[in-house]
Amino acid sequence: MSKQELTNRGGGVTKWSFPPVHPEGRKFGLIAGALTAVFAFMAWETLAWPMAGVTAWTLAFFRDPARTTPTGENFVVAPADGLVTLIEKVPPPPELGGAEGLGEEPLTRVSIFMSVFDVHINRTPIAGTIKRVVYIAGKFLNADLDKASEENERQHFLVERSDGVRIGFTQIAGLVARRILSFVKEGDMVGPGQRVGLIRFGSRVDVYLPVGTSSRIIKGQRCVAGETIIAELGVDNDLIAINA
């Protein structure tokens, strides 16, 4: 990470450039590009042009843009790009619960749905230590459905700050997604907004906020992973509204 990103300050010449392609996607881009070249060489234009489009989409799908995470020790940032489809209070999943996890009390869960056009690199909502990484095989239902949290293939993460505050989040496969990848393991230290995993192709991420913390975003809002502030630890907007 550059010094400018760490200090959250801009500088120098600013210009747009296509985001780099994550290494996980380069092999798919090469395969699609090779097929495009073969079809073009064989003068099969009806196949070459659509395949060229597939190649461009594949490279775009695996793009890995740099993100500047807002400074603030109590900020919880979005772990995924996409649309907020659900915000509700639910018990934490068993894999994240217990005395050494998120407990048993219902928590605010924020669900972010990633379409096949969104960036699919996932990031940690807070800085801390990865305490749990739990993979569960499952179904491939529409990730926009509520029951996808309990039935689909998924991978849970539990992050704990130095002061003991914990946040859980879950990568959930969808109709098209067939692979969930993790870039971190239990015991790793992560910074806010650090890359922790990837899902391909189209999926969802759930975030479980601690007791006493509510969402500061709304359903229908779009999030940017590592940049959008979805909550502030210890701030319960619902309680503030009631007492106002």
Residues 112, 122, 204, 26, Cα dihedral to 10°: 130
Please say whether the beta carbons of 154 and 172 come within 8 A: yes
DSSP classification of residue 137: -
* Cα separation, 26 vs 225, whole angstroms: 21
* Identity of residue 71: T
Please say whether the beta carbons of 96 and 168 come within 8 A: yes
User: For this structure, is 214 an active site residue?
Assistant: no
Kindly calculate the radius of gyration of the chain based on its CA atoms and give it in whole angstroms: 19
* Cα separation, 151 vs 106, whole angstroms: 19
The single residue of 111, 203, 214, 215 carrying the catalytic annotation is 203
Residues acting as catalytic residues? 203
